[in-house]
Amino acid sequence: MASLVPCPHCGQRPKEEFTVKGAALARPTADASPETWFDYVYLRDNPRGLYDEYWHHTSGCRRWLVVTRDTATHEIEGVRDASAKKEAAE
Partner 1 sequence: MTDFIIEHRAALGEKKSSSFMGVKLEVLPEGHVLHALAGSADGDLSGAIRTALGLEALAVRFVTPGQWFIVGDNALSHAELTGLADRLKPMVDIVDQSHGRIRIGLSGEKATAVLAKGTAADLALAAFPVGHATMTLIGHIGAHITRTGENAFELMVLRGFAESLWDELADMCAEFR
Residues that bind partner 1 (CB under 8 A): 9-14, 16-17, 59-63, 81, 83
CB of 41 to partner 1, least distance (A): 28
* Residue 14, H or E segment: strand 11-14
Name the residue nearer to partner 1 (CB basis): 51 or 55. 55
Nearest approach, Cβ of 39 to partner 1 (angstroms)?
31
Q: Of the two residues 8 and 28, which places its CB atom closer to partner 1 in the complex?
A: 8
- Residue 58 neighbours by CB distance under 10 Å: 12
Cβ atoms of 81 and 8 closer than 8 Å: yes
> Alpha carbon 36 to chain centroid distance?
20
